[in-house]
Amino acid sequence: MVDNRQHVKWFRESSPYIKAHRNKTFVIHLGGEAMGHENFHNIIDDILLLNSLGIRLVLAMGAKPQIDSAVTEAGQKSQTDNGVRITSPELLPVVQQTVGKLKIDLEAALSRGIVKTTQSGRDIFLASGNYIKAKPFGIRKGIDFHHTGTVRKINTDLIHQQLDMGAIVIVAPIGYSPSGEIFNIHSTEVAGEVATALLADKLILLVDGTGQMDHNGELISELAVSDIQASELKAYSPIAIAHKACLHSVERCHLISYKKDGALLEELFTRDGVGTQITRVSYEQIRSAASEDIPGILELIEPLEAEGTLVKRSRELIESEIDKFIVIERDGLIVSCAALYPFEDKGELACLATHPSYRNGNRGELLLKEIKKRARTSKMSAIFVLTTVTTHWFTERGFVEKDVQDLPHGRHSLYNYQRKSKYFEMPLKADSQ
């Protein structure tokens, strides 16, 4: 018998995202590499599922490897400069034919895919057209790029009309000038410009790897725009396109693998995703707690209270002391909390807790840094903790053990001798971090 408990758990956790994504506009870049990969049919199924959930979809397609193959088969040569194809007059018919065929193949795949789903009884509407007004890429450093172009304007009204009718809009990497010239445009540029012009809620770029990697080869799950050095980015790279889109109007961009089955769904319907998310503002925020955070705080601290790590606090007590708390919120979930209680000229760091799924990060350090900052603002000379099982964590961060008799008078009178908590203190300097 199949155990569906994990499936049920995942479905419950995804329900807030299903609601949040409905009627939102997503632009998905389907590069030629993704369309030629064996996982493409799974991507098509997932795109159709997104459409059935009420998400407005624009697919910006690419065709680079297919054009490369067609050029070779035609006995021609294709030149590039800084990653941009030089579309000569001789090459343009090959580009047109290849892009046209690939667009038809994409439409066929979407039409076939609907038959395999529970939506087989409904029609799937696809729309494409002359959405892009283009201009020549021009002559750069003495090189004439001929029919290679760049985006001049997006016909957003026409795209919105199609989306309003429930269509999946397909945008090919081809643009037209007012005089009728045809231009071949880099598909990632098309994706970014379409997302920006539509004020899309998300731009999703399917990439060869799992996302953006750090210098150690580890996946970076989230990047704020302010963390990205634009001068170091390669033109037309997914990270460069995402960076530019976020700087303009797109709230969030995602880099996910086109090779991993289900990556699109995992990225959109789980809290941590599987790729790299680029945001204008980090979706994990440290802030002062509010009354609506009380259920999340209780959920964090109750297991630690049950095992004796934290002193039990009632809901009523937390409600009355909510102004003492700070939290780290991750996309609507309270993942960490801490509190600062003033006693004379010192502050007690209390109720420090992190969700079990997020204890491998540096959230404890981030909360400690924020607590120290707030303590200095309040002119406190030191912060202290009372702990029974986490002594090493605090000593490793500069706390020094002291006798409980040295506790501030107001706190000493509340000391619980049955718990036998140890007292650690960290002096604060105005310029220390």
Q: What pTM did the predictor assign? A: 0.73
Contacts of 224-232 with C-beta under 8 Å, sequence gap 24+, read 224/278, 224/279, 224/280, 224/281, 224/282, 225/278, 225/279, 225/280, 228/278
3-state helix, strand, coil in the chain (%, to 5): 40, 25, 35
User: What is the rounded distance in angstroms from the CA atom of residue 141 to the CA atom of residue 138?
Assistant: 10
Task: Say how many Å lie between the first and final Cα of the chain, rounded.
Answer: 56
Q: Which residues, 6 or more positions from 68, have their beta carbon under 8 angstroms from its beta carbon?
A: 78
User: What is the rounded distance in angstroms from the CA atom of residue 211 to the CA atom of residue 134?
Assistant: 30
Could you tell me the pLDDT band of residue 368, with boundaries at 50, 70 and 90?
very high
Domains of the chain with bracketed CATH? 5-282 (3.40.1160.10), 285-427 (3.40.630.30)
Mean pLDDT (whole number) for 5-34: 88
Please give the pLDDT value at position 431: 47
Residue predicted with more confidence, 234 or 281: 234
Say if CB 278 and CB 223 are below 8 A apart: yes
Say if CB 185 and CB 192 are below 8 A apart: no
Say if CB 259 and CB 40 are below 8 A apart: no
Say if CB 75 and CB 6 are below 8 A apart: no
Tokens of 151: 């985006």
Helix crossing, 40-52 with 92-113: angle to 10°? 60
Could you tell me the pLDDT band of residue 17, with boundaries at 50, 70 and 90?
confident
Q: Which residues, 6 or more positions from 269, have their beta carbon under 8 angstroms from its beta carbon?
A: 14, 17, 18
Could you tell me the pLDDT band of residue 430, with boundaries at 50, 70 and 90?
low
Tokens of 127: 């729309």
| E strand or H helix at 354 | strand 346-354
Mean pLDDT (whole number) for 300-311: 87
DSSP 402-429: E-GGGS-HHHHTT--TTTT-EEEEEE--
Say if CB 62 and CB 185 are below 8 A apart: no
* The dihedral formed by the CA atoms of 182, 188, 189 and 194, expressed in degrees to the nearest 10: 90
Beta strands in 31-123 (DSSP E): 56-61, 79-81, 84-86
Tokens of 34: 């993704």
Q: Which residues, 6 or more positions from 15, have their beta carbon under 8 angstroms from its beta carbon?
A: none
Per-residue pLDDT tens digits for 321-360: 999 999 998 877 898 999 999 999 999 999 999 988 777 6
Mean pLDDT (whole number) for 242-253: 90
Average pLDDT over the chain, rounded to whole? 90
Q: Which residues, 6 or more positions from 182, have their beta carbon under 8 angstroms from its beta carbon?
A: 92, 96, 147, 174, 175, 176
Closest CA to 62 of 104, 103, 110: 103
Please give the pLDDT value at position 433: 47
Per-residue pLDDT tens digits for 165-209: 999 999 999 999 998 999 999 999 999 999 999 999 999 999 998
Tokens of 265: 């769904």
Per-residue pLDDT tens digits for 82-129: 889 999 999 999 999 999 999 999 999 998 866 555 555 567 899 999
Per-residue pLDDT tens digits for 205-229: 999 988 888 888 889 888 888 888 8
Residue with tokens 């033109």: 235
Query: Helices in 321-413 by DSSP H: which ranges?
Result: 363-377, 391-395, 409-412
The DSSP call for residue 324 is G
Say if CB 254 and CB 222 are below 8 A apart: no
DSSP 126-187: EE----EEEEE--EETTEE-BTBEEEEEE-HHHHHHHHHTTPEEEE-SEEE-TT--EEE--H
Q: Tell me how many degrees the CA angle 410-415-419 measures, rounded to the nearest 5.
A: 165
Q: Residue 400: pLDDT above 60?
A: yes
